[in-house]
């Protein structure tokens, strides 16, 4: 299947007749053509998110309507277009998505009518869950983790302990949803899934940067925390180490399909002595028997922060 279908052309023509330029652009971005949404349509929709006379809920509803299509191509491209607008559109677009009780309900989506329908439907279900989680994260913290100010004076590095302990699990949940996409190079077989994977790759780099900076801040505060805070912080750090392994596997796929390696962060693991020092400190607060550790072992080198 290549090119726009007759249905695509009729739908676009109907929007032209009714004067709905946004609906027409959404339709053209989400055709049955097995390739990623065209740049000119995405750019137009991005521009529209900043126009005050544009009805954002109506724009979002038009995209949601496209996900009710039976074709995996149309549904996948509607999700990609939505993700693109969340990343590059005016913030009021993601603000609106975050304000909704539900976004995509595609857990049971299955296209039985196309050659690649079964395989691509699996990725559509996973991708939609990630976009739901991305919107939920914004709803919980009123910020997009992938757009946070970074560095020593950035949001995650300057956050207080109490807020940090609440925020890091939210980042963890979003990263988990992203990594659950679980595509291997042999499954990235067409321009549609490749377009989705590229957006996920970009989010993974920025999301990990915020996550990593938050963990660094957490470790810097760890030895001054109360016992219950230390317990939560240690659990967060252990989960962080597991996610570093999963992210490394995700990034290997990106490398294998030719994505610029210059964007891939250094995922050097912190030495085991750091984890041991954290565990020993918590044990001492709980009155359990501990080994002797030097003060220097508390501050072993952490994983590098990606630029």
Give 262-297 pLDDT, tens digit per residue: 666 677 666 668 899 999 999 988 887 655 444 444
Q: Mark 56-84 as b/e (b = at least 16 C-beta within 10 Å).
A: beebbebbbebbebebbbbbbbbbbbbbb
> Distance between CA atoms of 233 and 159, rounded to whole angstroms?
14
Res 298: pLDDT: 46
Is domain 144-307 annotated with CATH 3.20.20.450? no
Contact 35, 189 (CB under 8 A): no
Contact 66, 22 (CB under 8 A): no
> Distance between CA atoms of 115 and 285, rounded to whole angstroms?
60
Q: What number is the average pLDDT over the span 163-174?
A: 98
pLDDT at 215 over 60: yes
Please determine whether the domains at 1-142 and 144-307 fall in the same fold group of CATH: no
- Percent of the chain exceeding pLDDT 70 equals 84
Q: What number is the average pLDDT over the span 71-94?
A: 97
Lowest mean pLDDT among 62-71, 180-189, 295-304: 295-304
Please name the helix (run of DSSP H) or strand (run of DSSP E) that holds residue 163, with its range, or none: helix 161-179
What's the chain's Rg over C-alpha atoms? 22
CATH of domain 1-142: 1.25.40.90
Res 261: pLDDT: 63
pLDDT at 148 over 80: yes
> Distance between CA atoms of 199 and 202, rounded to whole angstroms?
5
Res 302: pLDDT: 45
Q: What number is the average pLDDT over the span 55-60?
A: 94
Q: Which residue has the higher pLDDT, 150 or 264?
A: 150
Domains of the chain, by residue range, sit at 1-142, 144-307
Res 30: pLDDT: 96
Using CA atoms, how far residue 2 sits from 39, 70, 73, 135, in Å, is 18, 17, 11, 33
> Distance between CA atoms of 13 and 164, rounded to whole angstroms?
51
Q: Which residue has the higher pLDDT, 36 or 291?
A: 36
pLDDT at 31 over 60: yes
pLDDT at 14 over 60: no
């Amino acid at each position: 299947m290549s090119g726009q279908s007759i249905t695509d052309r009729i739908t676009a023509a109907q929007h032209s007749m009714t004067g709905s330029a946004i609906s027409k652009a959404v339709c053209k971005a989400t055709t049955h053509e097995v390739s990623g949404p065209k740049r000119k349509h995405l750019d137009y929709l991005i521009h529209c998110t900043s126009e005050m006379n544009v009805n954002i809920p109506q724009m979002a509803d038009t995209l949601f309507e496209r996900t009710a299509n039976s074709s995996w191509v149309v549904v996948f491209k509607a999700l990609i277009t939505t993700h693109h607008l969340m990343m590059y559109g005016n913030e009021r677009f993601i603000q609106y998505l975050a304000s909704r009780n539900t976004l995509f309900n595609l857990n049971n989506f299955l296209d039985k009518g196309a050659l690649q329908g079964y395989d691509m439907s699996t990725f559509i279900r996973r991708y939609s869950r990630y976009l739901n989680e991305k919107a939920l994260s914004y709803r919980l913290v009123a910020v997009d983790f992938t757009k946070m100010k970074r560095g020593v004076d950035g949001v995650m590095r300057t956050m207080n302990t109490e807020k940090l302990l609440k925020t890091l699990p939210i980042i963890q949940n979003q990263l988990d949803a992203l990594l659950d996409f679980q595509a291997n190079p042999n499954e990235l077989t067409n321009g549609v899934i490749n377009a989705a994977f590229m957006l996920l790759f970009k989010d993974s780099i920025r999301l990990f940067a915020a996550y990593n900076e938050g963990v660094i801040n957490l470790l810097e505060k760890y030895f001054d925390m109360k016992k219950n805070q230390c317990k939560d912080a240690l659990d967060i750090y252990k989960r962080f180490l597991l996610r570093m392994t999963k992210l490394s596997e995700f990034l290997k796929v990106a490398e294998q399909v030719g994505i610029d390696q210059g964007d891939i962060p250094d995922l050097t693991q912190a030495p085991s002595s750091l984890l041991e020092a954290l565990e020993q400190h918590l044990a001492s607060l709980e009155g359990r028997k501990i080994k002797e550790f030097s003060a220097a072992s508390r501050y072993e080198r952490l994983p590098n922060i990606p630029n």
